[in-house]
Amino acid sequence: MQSRRSRLPLAILATVAAAGVATFLLRPRSGIINPAPVDVEAYFSPAQLERAVDFRDTQRLVGLAGIVVSGATLAVLAWRPPRRLPVAARLARRPLLGGAAAGAGISLLLVVVSLPLAAWRHDRAYDVGLSTQTWGPWLGDVAKSAGIEAVLAAAGGAVALAVVRRFPRRWWIPGSAIVVAFGVVTIWLWPVLIDPVFNDFDPLPRGRLRSEVLELARKADVKVGEVYRVDASRRTTAVNAYVGGIGPTKRVVLYDNLIDDF
């Protein structure tokens, strides 16, 4: 136990060092692009700016509170695991099934404990006109997200337990490789398997806008295969654009709000 505690600071230091190296390697080759200077008072009144600051600050606090609630829930589970549940004894005899059940259960529990704060954030966004979703569609999205996360957590729990049982002392070595591989596969498949569950994506027709986007990507040294329009207006009035996917699934996605309003 003492040796494990002595290795903990070293593990934390190695993690911080790895994150620093990754940040350095992933920086844009041409340097960070500074945003164009904009005088916001030329576009918005003082009252509008004050309202925006109030909305942002409160949303940020509610989001941080959600992180605290989730972290406290995980801490309680780690400190006092629910061994007395009737199903716990049966799952203990089937470790991999138990790992899957634990992963899915923890994932769903985190959704439940965070739901009140998430609902508050949504309600505030709807009140200011940022969200266009009523409670029914919003809860539907929460349910779909919870189901997908539970399946992934179940698979992760089963794989993690299998790795620990097979490599009890060096489980973190194959575990690290599995996490990296899972991250790559997830980025590759997410745009074609998961994103369409929530939105409709249509290829942007050939024309000036598509050509300008591809030219901008070329100048930024980002190779993309396609440009898509997403029906983001079904959920929000916000405008956005992003790059998603990897390899053959890499694409630029434009909010329909961005295309229609600008």
- Global pTM? 0.80
Q: What is the pLDDT of residue 1?
A: 46
Res 86: pLDDT:
61
Residue 93 pLDDT more than 90? no
SS (H, E, C) the chain: CHHHHHHHHHHHHHHHHHHHHHHHHCCCCCCCCCCCCCCHHHCCCHHHHHHHHHHHHHHHHHHHHHHHHHHHHHHHHHHCCCCCCHHHHHHHCCHHHHHHHHHHHHHHHHHHHHHHHHHHHHHHHHHCCCECCCHHHHHHHHHHHHHHHHHHHHHHHHHHHHHHHHCCCCCHHHHHHHHHHHHHHHHHHHHHHCHHHHCCEEECCCCHHHHHHHHHHHHCCCCCCEEEEECHHHCECCCCEEEECCHHHCEEEEEHHHHHHC
Encode pLDDT of 213-230 as tens digits.
999 888 877 788 889 999
| β-strand pairing of 226-230 with 241-244 | unpaired
pLDDT for the residue 186: 92
Region 147-161 average pLDDT: 93
| Residue-wise pLDDT tens digits, 13-25 | 877 888 888 888 8
Least confident piece of the model among 81-85, 129-133, 201-205, 248-252: 81-85
pLDDT, mean over the chain? 88
pLDDT tens readout for residues 109-144: 999 999 999 999 999 999 999 999 999 999 999 999
Whether 87 has a pLDDT exceeding 70, the answer reads no
**Residue 125, class by beta-carbon neighbours within 10 Å (0-12 exposed, 13-18 middle, 19+ buried)?**
buried
Domains of the chain (ranges; CATH) run 42-166 (no CATH), 190-262 (3.30.2010.10)
pLDDT at 24: 83
What's the rounded Cα separation, in Å, for the pair 140 and 146?
A: 10
User: What percent of the chain lies above the pLDDT cut of 70?
Assistant: 92
Q: Looking at residues 93-107, what average pLDDT do you find?
A: 85
